[in-house]
Structure 1
Amino acid sequence: MKVCLYLEFEKRLHCSGIGSAINNQRRALELNNIRHTSNLCDDFDIIHLNVGPIGPRSLYLIRRMKKKGEKVVIHAHTTADDFRNSFLFSNSIAPFLKRYLTFYYNQADLVLCPSRYTKGVLEMAGVRKPIKVISNGIDTEKFQFSEKKREKFREEYKIDGITLLCVGHLFIRKGIETFVNVAKDFENRFIWVGRRYRRLEGPRVKRIISNTPDNITFIDYIDDIVEVYSGTDIFFFPSYCENQGIVLLEAGACRRPILVRDIEVYRDWLEDGVNCLKAKNDNEFRKKLRILMDDQKLRNKLGENAYKMSQEHSLKNIGAKLKEIYEELLNG
C-alpha cells in the first residue's frame, strides 16, 4: 500500500495548522512503515488530499484518480464556520464557500476530519459521504519542554515573571480582541505568535492592534516554536471556533497549563479543572487567569494533565489509525 499525501499551495501554508497537519501525517505514516509520496507522478493506491484554500488542481486530481479507479480521501480542515471572521470579506464569502465545500467533500470516497464537532458541522452542511474522525496528532518527540530553550527565549525577549502565550493567525476568530482586552488588566507580558496578513485584514483587526497595551508583544514568526512554549508559562487561547486546535496539543506536550474559551469542539477531550481551564467571556478569562497566576500547584497539575492528554494524540497512534482506515477503504 502506498499513499499520496497532497496539499495544494503547501509552500504558502507551511506556517498554518493545515501545513502542520500534513507534516504530521507524513511522520505518522513513517512511524507505522506506510509508504507515502507527494509526487503525483508516482504510483500509489490512495490519494489523501488535505484541504486548505480550495484550488482547481485538487478538484482535477479527484476526477483523475476516480477515472483510474483509485481511492480518494479528503481531509476536511476547513469549514465555512472557521473561515468566518478571518480575512477581509470572509463573512460575505462564507455562505458560498459552504456550498462549494459540501460539493467538494462529496467527491471523496471517504472524508476525514479532526473532531466530532467538525463531523457534525459537515453532516449539517450536507456532506453525505462516510466521515471518520481522526486527530491531527502531535509530534511528541519534537514538542517537549526544554529548560535551555526557555532560558534562550526569555533572555532574547527580556521576559521576567509569569508570561502568557497565544499562537495563531491574527484573526478576530482567534480571539485577538479578547486577548488584548484581558491583557490591559494585567502587568504580565502577553505574547502572540502568528502571521499578520495586513493586506487582507479588516479595519477591526487594525484598530485592535493599533490600541494594544505595552505589555503585549507580537511575534510574526519564529524558527523554533518549542522555544516559545518553553519560554512562557500559561497558554491562553481565546479562539471562538476551531476544528481541533493543533496548538493546544503542542502546548500540552510542552506541559503548559491551558486556558481556552468554552466551545463545543473541546468538550470531548478538554476537561475544565482537569487538563485546562475554560471561560465563556472576557470577565471569566480575567478571573481564571488570576487564579492560575496565584496558584502554582494548579498550573503544575493542569500542565501535567495536558501533557498526558497530548500523548494520546501521538503520531505513532495516529499513524496506526490511518493505516487501519486506509486498509478498510481498499478492502471495502
Structure 2
Amino acid sequence: MTTGRGADQTLAAGGPARHIPVLRDAALAALAVAPGKIYLDGTFGAGGYTRAILATPDTRVLAIDRDPNAIRDGQALVQEMQGRLTLVETRFGELAQAAAAHGFTPLDGAVFDIGVSSMQLDEAERGFSFRTDGPLDMRMEQSGRSAADLVNEADEETLADILYHYGEERLSRKIARAIVHDRVAKPFTSTKPLADLIGRLVPHKPQDIHPATRTFQALRIAVNDELGELVRGLAAAEQCLKPGGRLVVVTFHSLEDRIVKQFFAARSGRGAAKSRPLPGEPAVAPPTFRCDNALFGKQPIIADEQETARNPRARSAKLRVGERTDAPALGIDAGLNALAGLPQRTVRRR
C-alpha cells in the first residue's frame, strides 16, 4: 500500500492522475504535528505526507513502503532531510519491528494512506491499470504471486469470491466462469484482454466507470493481501504509539473504511458492555484509543468542495483518527482477523 493512492473509483484502476496528497491538511491537523515529535508515514509513495510533516521544524519521520520503486525514488528526499527522514522497505504489518530497529518508538503519531498510487497506475509494466496494455502483474513488492498467476490458476469459486467480496462485483460468478473458460485456450498474461473480456460481459453506459474497474481492484487487493496488511498495520500502530499519540487513516473504498471504522469502534469501547462481567466471563479490556466527537468532531472527515474540485481523487476519501490511551495494546485477535478475510458466500450470484 503506497501513498497517494487513493483514488476516486473512476481512476482507481484505469485512469491517469497526478500524485496529490489527499486530505493532507486534515491529516496534519488530526496528527497534531508539533516541533520535535516523531512520526510514522506508513505509505510513503511519492512522499507527500512525509514532506508535509517535515515542514514542521525538528520533526523526524520513519517512512515505510513495500514498493521498492518508492524506496529508490525517495532517496533524494532522505539526503535532503539530513537525518530527519528514515526510509525503510517493509509492509504495514512489520512497522513495529522497523520502528524499534530504527529508534522510532514510542511514536507521537502515525498516518496511513491506503490503496494504490498514481505512480503505480501510470507505469504500464506494473499491470495495475487497464488504460494501456501491460503485464497482468499488480505486485506492489514486485515479487511473489502475480495477478496473472491468480487469474490463470485459481478455481472458479475462488475467483468469484475474490471478485464479489474484494471488488463488490455483482456479476462475479459470470466473470469467473468466463475467465476459467477462456484461459484454457489462451492464458491471461496482460491487462487488456482481461479488461476486454469483462467489458463484453458487464452491461454499462458510456458515463459509467469502466466495467473492469471492480475486478481489477479485487485482484489487486487479493494479490497484495491489502486488507490483511491493513489489519496488521493498525494493530502494529497501536503497539508503537505513546499515550496521546494519534493514528490517522485515509481510505478510499468501503472495504478499507469498514475495517478502520470497526477497529476504532472496538478499540475505543463503543458497543462494549458497561456492566460488571458475570462470574466466569472475561473482563472487558480498557479502551486503547479515544475517538469521541468531543476530541475530533464528527467522523469520518471528508474533503471539502475546494479540494475535490482541485483533486478528483479526494471525492471518495474518508479520514478517521484515534488518540492512544495508556491501556496496553491488545494485538490481533480473531475479530480483527475476520475483518480482512473473505466472508462466506451469502447470496447466489449470477
TM-score by length of 1: 0.32
Larger RCO of the pair (alpha carbons < 8 Å, separation 6+): 2
